[in-house]
A and B are shown apart, each in its own frame.
Chain A
Amino acid sequence: MSSRQAPLPSISVDNVAVIRGNRLVLRGLTVTARSGDIIWVRGANGCGKSTLLRLIAGLLHATAGSIQTEGRIALADENLALDANLTVAKALMFWADMDGASADARSAALADMDLQGLAQVPVRFLSTGQRKRASIARVLTSKADIWLLDEPYNGLDSASCARLDQAITAHAATGGIVLVAAHQPPSINVAHSLILDRPEADA
């Protein structure tokens, strides 16, 4: 029996086009994701992977088409969104307060990303990989239904990649949705992969 409340998380992107500046980034894109799905979003540089994630997150508006989501969304992209001068623990606690999450949720996220030893280190002193793990810990703390992960494996060592895979699998197993935008295939089983191409190439 699932502890999640109805309705289940879902994503419906229907025939979406996006023009940014004077460039057509996405055209005629349709994506559907249901509870428990893990989707690998792939494609060449500039094909619109990050744009798609920001569209689903509600940070960009589609030029045409519609996007509907059900459930809370968390995004981990190139922007860390953690205060550089705060310790990792305090920076994460700020977002826990924003999300109404508990200190326990933050501690669990720190443990999941093996960041307990860095909890009292200011964010500005973290390495690239550690920053990425802290960013993912922010997503874990949020208890969001839908995770949008933009190049989450960049900078991670193999042990951290395995931890991230484990977190993604566990989230999907409890009914969450995960979209992973990455060049390399995730080592976990994905529901399907979404291949984006450059609309301008065949326009």
Chain B
Amino acid sequence: MKAFAALVAREVRVAWTGGGLWLPVIFYLAVATLFPFVTGPDKALLARTGGGILWIAALLATLLPIERLILPDRQAGILDQLAMRGWSDELVATAKIIGQIFAFALPLLLATVVGSALIGLPEAQLGTLLLGLALALPALSGLSVTIAALTAGLSGASALGGLLLVPITIPLLIFGAGTLSENPGNAMQLLAATALAITALSPFAAGAALRAGRT
């Protein structure tokens, strides 16, 4: 358990020192800042569309850390060393996903409070938005680790990662946007179910991808 905690802590530390922690947050807030420049200062329009924009920004921010999640560890031999110590690829993937939740999901959730203020989102919607993102961000973390494992070492991995991630996240986006409607109950349940399924399956998919990529 101590070793697993050390591995999760390492993931957070690598994100912190490698810029993987702040870059998605800055990107996320930049989108929130730029959006009113496009729509104009129409408060009603911003209130109606702002939550959806933050959802899209969160999905796109998921793409940013993908290149640093698996490839550097594979090139440095870290994954080999873990495998030699009997760590299953699924357990390594789980540690990376949990690390990504701490290093990516939680900071983004905190940034949502700032982003919603920048967009002028009604306070009543903020709680729903935070709850929806809190449900979806672990799934997005799992997907980013899975796609990072699938694309590590491929040429054009970054673009390929985007092409893979965006279609998979459509259900999350649809249900997530649905939670911002006047009756969010059903959408929230569907979002929770979808996010839970993706989060639960991600370690296995990412683990299989890590195994397949070992040379």
Chain A interface (Cβ within 8 Å of chain B)? 57-59, 73-75, 77-86, 94-95, 97-100
Residues of chain B from 62 to 85 with CB closer than 8 A to chain A in the complex: 75-78, 80-85
Q: Is the CB of A79 within 8 A of B76?
A: yes
Of chain A, the residue at the smallest CB distance from B17 is: A85
12 additional contacts (CB under 8 A) given A81-B76, A98-B7: A58-B83, A59-B84, A79-B77, A80-B76, A81-B80, A82-B76, A84-B76, A85-B14, A86-B13, A86-B17, A94-B10, A98-B82
Q: B4-35, CB under 8 A of A: which get 1 and which 0?
A: 00110010011001100000000000000000
Q: Is the CB of B77 within 8 A of A80?
A: yes
Assuming A94-B6, A97-B2, A98-B82, is B14 touching A83 (CB within 8 A)? Answer: yes
Distance to closest chain B CB from A176 (angstroms): 16
Q: What residues of A have a CB within 8 angstroms of the CB of B84 in the complex?
A: 57-59, 73-75
Q: Is the CB of B81 within 8 A of A95?
A: yes
Assuming A94-B6, A98-B3, is B82 touching A75 (CB within 8 A)? Answer: no
Q: B79-105, CB under 8 A of A: which get 1 and which 0?
A: 011111100000000000000000000
Q: Is the CB of B14 within 8 A of A79?
A: no
Question: Cα distance A96–B77 when bound, in Å?
Answer: 16
Distance to closest chain B CB from A96 (angstroms): 9
Question: Cα distance A100–B13 when bound, in Å?
Answer: 20
Q: Is the CB of A100 within 8 A of B3?
A: yes
Q: Is the CB of A75 within 8 A of B80?
A: yes
Of chain A, the residue at the smallest CB distance from B81 is: A81
Q: What residues of A have a CB within 8 angstroms of the CB of B82 in the complex?
A: 98
Number of A-B contacts (CB under 8 A): 53
Question: Cα distance A99–B76 when bound, in Å?
Answer: 18
Question: Cα distance A85–B76 when bound, in Å?
Answer: 12
Question: Cα distance A132–B76 when bound, in Å?
Answer: 13
Assuming A57-B84, A59-B83, A94-B6, is B77 touching A81 (CB within 8 A)? Answer: yes
Question: Cα distance A59–B83 when bound, in Å?
Answer: 7
Interface pairs A-B: 5 shortest CB-CB: A79-B77, A81-B77, A97-B6, A85-B17, A81-B81
Question: Cα distance A59–B78 when bound, in Å?
Answer: 12
Distance to closest chain A CB from B147 (angstroms): 23
Q: What residues of B have a CB within 8 angstroms of the CB of A81 in the complex?
A: 76-78, 80-81
Q: What residues of B have a CB within 8 angstroms of the CB of A75 in the complex?
A: 80-81, 84
Q: What residues of B have a CB within 8 angstroms of the CB of A57 in the complex?
A: 80, 84
Selected from B18, B77, B80, B85, the residue in CB contact (under 8 A) with A99 is: B85
Q: Is the CB of B77 within 8 A of A77?
A: yes
Question: Cα distance A100–B10 when bound, in Å?
Answer: 16
Determine which residue in A79, A85, A100 has the highest number of CB atoms from chain B within 10 A of its CB, and name it: A79
Of chain A, the residue at the smallest CB distance from B14 is: A83
Selected from B6, B14, B77, the residue in CB contact (under 8 A) with A98 is: B6
Distance to closest chain A CB from B5 (angstroms): 9
Q: What residues of A have a CB within 8 angstroms of the CB of B14 in the complex?
A: 83, 85
Distance to closest chain A CB from B160 (angstroms): 23
Question: Cα distance A79–B79 when bound, in Å?
Answer: 11
Distance to closest chain B CB from A141 (angstroms): 12
Q: Is the CB of A79 within 8 A of B75?
A: yes
Of chain A, the residue at the smallest CB distance from B16 is: A85
Q: What residues of B have a CB within 8 angstroms of the CB of A95 in the complex?
A: 81
Question: Cα distance A58–B77 when bound, in Å?
Answer: 14
Q: Is the CB of A59 within 8 A of B3?
A: no
Q: List 8 A-B contacts (CB under 8 A).
A: A73-B84, A75-B80, A79-B76, A79-B77, A81-B78, A97-B6, A98-B85, A100-B2
Of chain A, the residue at the smallest CB distance from B87 is: A98
Question: Cα distance A79–B80 when bound, in Å?
Answer: 9
